[in-house]
Structure 1
Amino acid sequence: MVAPASAVSSDNEKVPVLIQFKNKPDAQLVKANGGEIKYEYDVVPAIAAELPLKAIDALSKNPNIDLVEPDGIAQITGETIPWGIERVNAPEVHALGFTGNGIKVAIIDTGVDYNHPDLAANYLGGYDYVNDDSSPMDDNGHGTHVAGTVLGIDNDIGVIGVSPDVGFYALKAANSAGYCSWSDVIASINWAVNNDVDVISMSLGGSYSSTLKAACDNAYNSGTVVIASAGNTGDEDDPSVLSPADYDSVIAVAAIESSNSIAYFSSYGPQIELAAPGRYIYSTLPGSSYGSYSGTSMAAPHVTGVVALLLNTDVSGTNLDLDNDGTWDPAEVRARLQSTATDFGTAGKDDYYGYGLVNALAAVSNLDQAPATEEPATEEPATEVPATEEPATETPVTDPVSSMHFSVLTIDPTSTVKANKHVFAYATAKATVVDADGNPVPGATVSGDWSGLVSETVSAVTDATGVATFQSSQLKNPTGDFIFSANGVTLAGYEYNSDDNTCTIPVSDYFSSTAALSSYLQK
């Protein structure tokens, strides 16, 4: 189902921007130009703000400012199942006494259900940048699923994570629909660095941002390992790795199937560093529940967990301690994971697997130090039991009991802002899912594509009214059409029946933004 939208203009709006300074950020300068400051960062000399249109060009020409760029929009990268813990050889590492104890991980996502019985004991705190409060509760499910893969507790219920004793901070940068601004992501990175986390895990991706790159680079240089999912555009015309995974300071993670082949959806390119399980990954979900998702979002937390296990080991006195400081540095961690990865595909590093499948056991082995052996109880994480006894919970996926379909597909007029020379635009689409009786279906995962001005494969979960909301990337000076296609919908216990759809496929009656924007730009 396809719905396009036009870009319309409004004269009195302010532009959400990221302002990079050459030296120390000058908040007074921003305020003097009518700016409303959202964040002032420590991790990068930058300020997130909303600026009046007339101030953009003026500040861009200021000699103390490096650049002014739009505050980009990103989206969590993927959804749909877990067997990956064994594939990365995590249980064998637990048996050696390495479980991530004492390591701190920051999960930047849709928040985490920190009350979940498989996560609560490891929760250290966090922040919600979407709602501006100290309770980063997950209202989407994505972040909770990611957390379970990293650190599901060895407690004889549910699932066990790659590093079941790691402490984690939840930083909510993405909203209930799975969208986030780069300013909120940078604020989360800033918080993580200021709280001395060891690893930052980001299962999200979007368009390039210079300010975000600087934040990731500075976090890495401060001693924090930064990991991100590559993206789910592998079957599209542009399968390239998304930001922030495409930055040199970030470990970009691709997704593999249980057959060890690269998942069809996994983005690829020279930035791919490692591969990890990413299809049909079983993990925690909000409300003390469990479920299966697919995507590079599910692959990245496997690598995050392996990094935590490696950080549990003692590198001092080994030839892996390149700077002889007695601790694992991000560059040393990356070198170790690269050299111990299980090579697949073309021999050596390639664009699909990178250096290969991350291998926890190989990474922690032969480090010339004695691992802890006094906690054999951790051997019982052979609570690989969930992996063998829980598949029953997947049954509803293959044995649907009800049907669902799309009843409405709309796309709101694109919000635009125009300055002397610049127009910023994006579009918001909404797809409504109902059952055979016309009742809304909440919790269903809707997949779709943006085309026209942008090319993105996206997914979102329906809310209590059965509506899934999608927001395109924000563009500067666009001329053309935003077009959204709803491709399908999945939910355990339901079957998608496209024959029951009550909206036109495709929608052929749409507004063009080209004429409107061209008309304005000629003024």
Structure 2
Amino acid sequence: MGTEELKKSVQRPAWSWQFSADARIALPSLDLFATLSRDLLHHDSRGKGVKVAVIDSGIDDTHPGVGGPISKQVMIEEGPEGFSTIVEEPIDISGHGTACASVIRALAPECELYSVRVLGKWSRGRGTVFLAGLRWAIENGMHVCNLSLGTTKKEFSDTLHELADLAYFRGVTLVTAANNMPIPSFPSLYASVISVAAHEGKDPHQFYYNPQPPVEFGAPGIDVNVAWLNQQWIMATGNSFAAPHITGIIAQILAVYPELTPFQIKTILRELASNTVHESQLC
């Protein structure tokens, strides 16, 4: 590189080289909104090929509500020498993860489910283990992560925020349940995630967009029939069961449009939301 070229490169602000004439990447137009309709969510997609991580208490894949085998179950353990990832047979400690998996598979029956077990009995767990499980999912090529859990402890917020941003930049969509109590919880407050709370509807494809975040979407989560322990079904209420509805819908979308990034997915969800009024409906 000559002196003048070196001088010019030094003067350029950091990162600006990505937008120079010889570095810009041509992107194909998505042309989505001309053809996008809610029919996609009802008939055209079953989530095939989409990797979905359920970061929770495990998944019992023998439960008929889960709809068949899952791709892998790992358990995160914390020991004196750090964290270890153990591949294990699909089991569920509390029922919570199986419940979330049943909601996802009802919407996207052909998605590839991965269970990342970070919770124990009574759906309790350690924040450090949660962080390690989320990192595993990001680093192992998941497309969507269902996080029907979170923490109110601020000491984990910075690291969780870093992981949420890492997922965003790597094209991994994080779907998070808002806390059931009116208190801040993480990572549901971050702009890089898709935050979900419950509404009373029963149609699994009916969801709403909230233009006044941090909670951005509402999905069924009140008196929802979900799979549980010992081959049972229960009626459950909580934002935990609203989030997997959105996760399943995202799996449906990604099966048809696999190149979508998290911010594009969020835009499409806003477009498909039941409270979005289109011009044709105003005539």
Q: TM-score, normalised by structure 1?
A: 0.40
* TM-fit CA distance, 1:122: 4.2
* TM-fit CA distance, 1:130: 4.8
Aligned to 2:87: 134
Q: In structure 1, the residue corresponding to 2:256 is in which secondary structure?
A: coil
Flag the 1:177–1:259 CA change in 2: closer, same or farther, 3 A: closer
CA distance in 2, matches of 1:165, 1:291: 24
Aligned to 2:186: 243
* TM-fit CA distance, 1:300: 0.2
- The aligned runs of 1:218-229 (5 Å cut-off) are 218-229=166-177
Flag the 1:259–1:147 CA change in 2: closer, same or farther, 3 A: closer
Aligned to 2:270: 338
1:284 aligns to 2:227 (yes or no): yes
CA distance in 1, matches of 2:72, 2:230: 18
Flag the 1:120–1:163 CA change in 2: closer, same or farther, 3 A: closer
CA distance in 2, matches of 1:97, 1:314: 12
1:484-504 CA distances to partner (integer Å, 9 max, x unpaired)?
A: xxxxxxxxxxxxxxxxxxxxx
Q: State the number of aligned residues.
A: 225
CA distance in 2, matches of 1:313, 1:141: 31
Aligned to 2:129: 184
1:45-102 CA distances to partner (integer Å, 9 max, x unpaired)?
A: xxxxxxxxxxxxxxxxxxxxxxxxxxxxxxxxxxxxxxxxxxxx98x54653301011
Identity of aligned residues (%): 29
Aligned to 1:294: 237
Q: In structure 1, the residue corresponding to 2:165 is in which secondary structure?
A: helix
Contact 1:241 1:272 in 2 (8 A): no
Give the aligned residue type for 2:192. Answer: S
1:328 aligns to 2:252 (yes or no): no
- The aligned runs of 1:93-112 (5 Å cut-off) are 93=40, 96-112=43-59
1:143 aligns to 2:143 (yes or no): no
1:391-450 CA distances to partner (integer Å, 9 max, x unpaired)?
A: xxxxxxxxxxxxxxxxxxxxxxxxxxxxxxxxxxxxxxxxxxxxxxxxxxxxxxxxxxxx
1:118-142 CA distances to partner (integer Å, 9 max, x unpaired)?
A: 3263400021125863225211011
Unaligned 5+ segments in structure 2 are: 1-36, 79-84, 204-211, 279-283
Give the aligned residue type for 2:98. Answer: T
Give the aligned residue type for 1:105. Answer: V
* TM-fit CA distance, 1:169: 0.4
1:194 aligns to 2:148 (yes or no): no
CA RMSD, 1 decimal? 2.6
Unaligned 5+ segments in structure 1 are: 1-88, 152-160, 234-238, 261-268, 316-326, 349-361, 363-523
* TM-fit CA distance, 1:213: 1.2
Contact 1:107 1:143 in 2 (8 A): yes
Contact 1:241 1:271 in 2 (8 A): no
Q: Which has the larger radius of gyration?
A: 1
Q: TM-score, normalised by structure 2?
A: 0.73
1:153-201 CA distances to partner (integer Å, 9 max, x unpaired)?
A: xxxxxxxx11111110001111112112221112111211222110010
- The aligned runs of 1:87-486 (5 Å cut-off) are 93=40, 96-119=43-66, 121-130=68-77, 133-135=86-88, 137-151=91-105, 161-207=106-152, 208=154, 209-233=157-181, 239-258=182-201, 270-314=213-257, 327-343=259-275
* TM-fit CA distance, 1:241: 4.2
Q: Could you tell which deviates more after superposition, 117-126 or 97-106?
A: 117-126
Higher normalized helix content (fraction of residues):
2
CA distance in 1, matches of 2:86, 2:214: 35
